[in-house]
Amino acid sequence: MQGIQIKEHGDLDILKVCDIPDPVPEAGEVRIQVKAVGLNHLDLWVRRGIPGHQFPLPLILGSDVAGVVSVVGEGVEDLKLGDEVIVAPGVSCGACPVCQRGEDHKCRSYGILGETRDGGYAEMLVVPRRNCILKPKNLSFAQGAALGVSALTAWHMVAARAAVKKDEWVLVQAAGSGVSSAALQIAKHLGAKVIATSGSDAKCQRAKELGADYTINYKEENVRQRVKKITEGWGADVVIDHVGALTWDASVSSLAWHGRLVTCGATVGFEVEIDLRHLFFKSLSLLGSTMGTLAEMHEVIRLAGAEEIKPILAQTLDLSDAAQAHRLLEEHQVFGKLVLIP
């Protein structure tokens, strides 16, 4: 098959299409003919490499896959050839106590496609049967591939970790990203009042079109002051932030008393400072979040199928243009998800 397999970490020039042996499904596995694969910042980190962390090279990138069942392994009886599926990006053992409790994201063997095992930057992909979810008919393959990590992460942040309630104020930082554009919609689905930030008026307008009640251009306005004014001095009950150091001070200072800040990443800076007096005096909660459960992935796809939330496609490109897609993601030039077509 044709695909992009990195044998060493490096710059954009290592993203070249090459011949790779066809993957063969074992018992309980399914081979997917990949129709679309979505990009995440995880792809950038794996490509570049992370000091002190070892990835299983050679490796095919790509966590978010939509495609067609082409081969089923022994024991797989409830999927047939030609079924159109969206692939859940997190892989667990499926048998340990936490998996049996439906908390598979806590499994000791949990991994992510394109990080701990081969992903979807290729014409074919093999995954466990339980990772295959039937694609709603109203979604294209590209839209299906625009869910995955971003929508799953956003759901777990907003619904599980922050437990957002009706009429709460939710501040979503960097609304143009895949995670934030999904988080904005999920918060609205749960009945919250949403304030979204972005670095351009055009992206702020897109956020309003997705349902944001208010938007803030963080390059032109003081986020904390605007949040306080919008909420009439109350502040944000919940802040959704994956940016890191660049937005941290504004996120923390925008919180209401007993507010919750949920972070799932640090795309712009890992190291931050916090005044502990604010933390305990205002009874704040700082919550980390990574991925989500298989059941939550099913719920996200159900909501997308019911058009309660919409996968946001920024652009589709050929797999051979992966380097260009990585560059666009690095430069924050998109609103929503970039998707590659093998």
pLDDT in tens, the chain (342 residues): 999 999 999 999 999 999 999 999 999 999 999 999 999 999 999 999 999 999 999 999 999 999 999 999 999 999 999 999 999 999 999 999 999 999 999 999 999 999 999 999 999 999 999 999 999 999 999 999 999 999 999 999 999 999 999 999 999 999 989 999 999 999 999 999 999 999 999 999 999 999 999 999 999 999 999 999 999 999 999 999 999 888 999 999 999 999 999 999 888 888 899 989 989 999 999 999 999 999 999 999 999 999 999 999 999 999 999 999 999 999 988 899 999 999
DSSP E strands: which ranges in the chain?
2-6, 17-19, 29-38, 59-60, 64-72, 84-87, 90-91, 111-112, 124-128, 132-134, 169-172, 193-198, 214-217, 236-241, 255-263, 285-288, 313-318, 337-341
pLDDT at 267: 81
Question: What's the rounded Cα separation, in Å, for the pair 192 and 184?
Answer: 9
The pTM assigned to this predicted structure is 0.94
Tokens of 299: 């719920």
Amino acid at 210: L
Domain boundaries, the chain: 2-147+311-341, 151-288
Q: What fold is seen in the domain 2-147+311-341?
A: Quinone Oxidoreductase; Chain A, domain 1 (3.90.180)
Q: 116: which DSSP letter?
A: T
Q: What fold is seen in the domain 151-288?
A: Quinone Oxidoreductase; Chain A, domain 1 (3.90.180)
Are both 2-147+311-341 and 151-288 of the same fold?
A: yes
pLDDT at 239: 98
Buried b (16+ CB within 10 A) or exposed e, 28-52: ebbbbbbbbbbbbbbbbbbbeeeee
Question: What's the rounded Cα separation, in Å, for the pair 213 and 258?
Answer: 22
pLDDT at 333: 82
Q: Are 338 and 40 in contact (CB under 8 A)?
A: no
CA dihedral for 218, 220, 225, 228, sign (positive or negative): negative
